[in-house]
Amino acid sequence: MGRKRKKMPLLEQVGVTDIGAEGKSIARIDERVIFLTNAIPGDVVDIQVNRKKKNFMEGYPVKFYKYSEDRVEPFCEHFGVCGGCKWQQLPYEKQLFYKQKQVADQLQRIGGLKEEELKMMQPILASPKDRYYRNKLEFTFSNKRWVTKEELESGEEIHERKGLGFHIPKMFDKILDIQNCYLQPEPSNEIRAWFREHTKGAEYFDIREHKGLMRNLTIRTANTGEVMVMVAFYENNESYIQSLLSSFVKDFPQVNSVMYVINSKANDTILDQDILLFSGKDYIVEKMEDLEFQIGPKSFYQTNSEQALSLYKTARDFAGLKGDEVVYDLYTGTGTIANFIAGSAAKVIGIESVPEAIEDAKENSARNHISNTVFLAGDMKDAFDPELMQEHGKPDVVILDPPRAGVHQNVVDNLIHAAPQKIVYVSCNPATQARDIKLLAGHYSITGIQAVDMFPQTHHVENVVLLEREKDRE
């Protein structure tokens, strides 16, 4: 027989005091930390513990005795079930406060920054929009949508199980049917509603059985007003696909790019798939200052266009380029930062592991008549090495914008060896950023910190740090 699970404790009338990493709220009992979801600082709650470790516990509120004075009514009907926009109960000013605090805490606790050094932190840059700020959303068709609590309690028999929406957190096979989403501007909601209505006769994808026709819907909107729609089908039912997309183009003539893909793989990724053009052009255009960026169906682009400009301006200001520098842009993606700063540098070398992204970066340089960029595809831990620097020149400035995992130890070692005057570190994960900064301690000192809110209503935050080589090490 298996071991009997211990009954988890119920903690009564506990005051929620703070918000920590990953957006979880914090309460304390006898100096022991409890991380909990669905509560905010100022709430007094009973907590059902569902995980118990030596130094901490995790749980969720089962009863509220007092609601925080800061609490606001969530604006979305899907709040609490949908995995997105988890901070709707917090007013936007408080969201900014806790994001700034999160960055400071990580830099101090993991990065070893002293209280004095944290004083150089600038106030976080707020997003001009706290709703309808995303330029890309991906929806999933499912024949087993999530049945809501209200539906179950109604006692009525549920016949329709088709859904088009987002994955329920931690449930790969359950999709919440989204009626209205506040993340992307119109015509996003109208397009999703159209596809739900016009695919009633088609079989939606079953992720467990791997069958069904309708699989995914991706909508991209640009700050130029251009729109791209891409539909992923699991089966190649050519007559149905042609009929469906012809109807869509007729009803949405304003959509600039209509594309589709037949993805019969087990996973949803399309980077290795052929994307077919049905109508219009195979890209849309984003503008940033006087530059234009061509966004294709596989392109990576910051999802909050307005705040991307704030982020890149911060990186450019921190770099403080005079025009004669050699700049390396590591993890360049589609070359957005590289092209953005190229006019202020002598030469920019962008490195990225995804070959398609490098092709986009080259195209974006050509589109904007930029001739002083070089883009190379390769795994960063191997590509950024002394041999490369010998060929293209030693860097005066290095810009880092790595994925959430941060930079590899090889990259840190090669940065120390290359000894650029400045390193501008752009991060979507302040914890790994702080870890990497600590590895550079003794060689580089922090001289600038600027958090940028790219993702309102969530705990996610971008942070830019300026590191300058310590003079006595030159």
CATH, residue 429 = 3.40.50.150
Residue 117 domain flag: yes
Q: How do 347-352 and 422-427 pair as beta strands?
A: unpaired
**Positions in the chain short of pLDDT 70:** 1-5, 471-474
Split into its structural domains, the chain has a count of 3
- Assign residue 273 the CATH number of its domain: 2.40.50.1070
Structure tokens that stand for 117 in this block: 């050094």
- The pLDDT, as a whole number, for residue 474 is 46
Q: What are the C-alpha distances in Å from 261 to residues 136, 162, 250, 271, 297?
A: 17, 21, 20, 11, 10
Locus of tokens 């600027």: 450
Mean pLDDT of all residues belonging to the chain: 92
- The pLDDT, as a whole number, for residue 154 is 74
Q: What is the rounded distance in angstroms from the CA atom of residue 395 to the CA atom of residue 353?
A: 20
Q: How would you list the strands of the sheet with 214-221, edge to edge?
A: 175-177, 163-167, 136-142, 214-221, 227-233, 257-262, 276-280
Alpha helices (H) along 375-427: 380-383, 386-392, 409-418
Q: What angle do CA 464, 412, 319 make, to 5 degrees?
A: 35
- The pLDDT, as a whole number, for residue 43 is 94
> Which one of 76, 82, 181, 428 is the catalytic residue?
428
- Assign residue 30 the CATH number of its domain: 2.40.50.140
Residue 240 domain flag: yes
Q: What is the rounded distance in angstroms from the CA atom of residue 247 to the CA atom of residue 239?
A: 12
Q: What is the rounded distance in angstroms from the CA atom of residue 33 to the CA atom of residue 18?
A: 11
- The pLDDT, as a whole number, for residue 422 is 97
Q: Are residues 336 and 220 in the same domain?
A: no
- The pLDDT, as a whole number, for residue 3 is 55
Residue 233 domain flag: yes
- The pLDDT, as a whole number, for residue 214 is 97
User: In sequence order, which residues have a C-beta less than 8 Å from that of residue 170 and are 6 or more positions away?
Assistant: none
β partners of residue 277:
259
- The pLDDT, as a whole number, for residue 5 is 63
Q: Are residues 309 and 429 in the same domain?
A: yes
Instruction: From 121, 100, 99, 117, select the one nearest 444 (Cα to Cα).
Output: 117
Q: Are residues 428 and 316 in the same domain?
A: yes
Has 428 been annotated as catalytic?
yes
Q: What is the rounded distance in angstroms from the CA atom of residue 152 to the CA atom of residue 290?
A: 54
Q: Are residues 234 and 263 in the same domain?
A: yes
Q: Are residues 205 and 183 in the same domain?
A: yes
Domain boundaries, position 53? 10-66
